[in-house]
Amino acid sequence: MPDLDADSILDRLGGLENRVGELEDVNAIRRLHWAYGYYIDFNLPDQVAELFAEDGVVVFLSGEYVGHAGVRRLYGDWIQQRFTGGRPGPVDGLLLDHFQMQDVITVAPDRQTAKGRFRGMLFGGWHDDFQDTREPGMPQQFMEARIYENDYVREDGVWKIRRLDYMMQWQSNYEDGWAHTTSHLQPATKTFPEDPVGPDRLLASREHRPTWPYRRDVPMHFAHPRFGNLLAASQTD
């Protein structure tokens, strides 16, 4: 090993310190997203909202829910009411398990912003003894898959979700399977307050997202590891 002067040693230590910091950031963001998954399992909208930045956004069914109020409206006024009648979970007879996996996380060079791609699976439904509590039109057992392409920001030293983009891939009744099912959830058409549980704004018409069996591309924020490297700065703009 060649002799190193003091400046070279300090440079190396600085590089190692930054690399360790990036790994800590990746773990913090992974933990943040996994925590989000557990909170939505049990319909806990207040806890979900606290994971978001003050100006955070959720993109869901062709609409954007903006700020903590928008996040609570989506996960509380709509989803919690839909599944548990406004009660926090777990609720007897209801399965609503969200599996979060296959994360690819890219932290910006300044370590203040990041992007993350996750795959999610949902298994939901009501037990025979409790199915009378489900909302009309909801299948008793269903499955759902989505891809997230999310933005994260460090707010007061803590990683928060800045934009959670929930892109449904397919949805099916369990008994029929995805080959024989059309999604029971459809894109939003009205905004809040005209729709009391609607988004604050709709996506542009070119970004309208029809649901299963129709598909949309979900562009990846990261470059192929062999055929090209994008600058992290451009990935997190």
How would residue 227 be classed by pLDDT, with cut points 50, 70 and 90?
low
Closest CA to 218 of 50, 16, 59, 26: 59
Determine contact, residues 82/124, Cβ cutoff 8 Å: no
Q: What is the DSSP letter of 181?
A: -
Residue 137's contacts (CB-CB under 8 Å, 6 or more residues apart) are: 184
List domains and CATH numbers for the chain: 6-235 (3.10.450.50)
pLDDT at 230 exceeding the cut of 70: no
Task: Give me the mean pLDDT over the 68-77 stretch.
Answer: 97
> What single letter denotes the amino acid at residue 107?
V
163 vs 121: CA distance, rounded Å: 19
Which two tokens mark 171? Answer: 């949805």
pLDDT tens, residue by residue, 41-68: 999 999 999 999 999 999 999 999 999 9
Residue 83's contacts (CB-CB under 8 Å, 6 or more residues apart) are: 43, 91, 94, 96, 124, 135
> What single letter denotes the amino acid at residue 233?
A
Task: Give me the mean pLDDT over the 78-97 stretch.
Answer: 92
146 vs 166: CA distance, rounded Å: 7
83 vs 94: CA distance, rounded Å: 8
The pTM score is 0.88
pLDDT tens, residue by residue, 116-150: 999 999 999 999 998 888 888 889 999 999 999 99
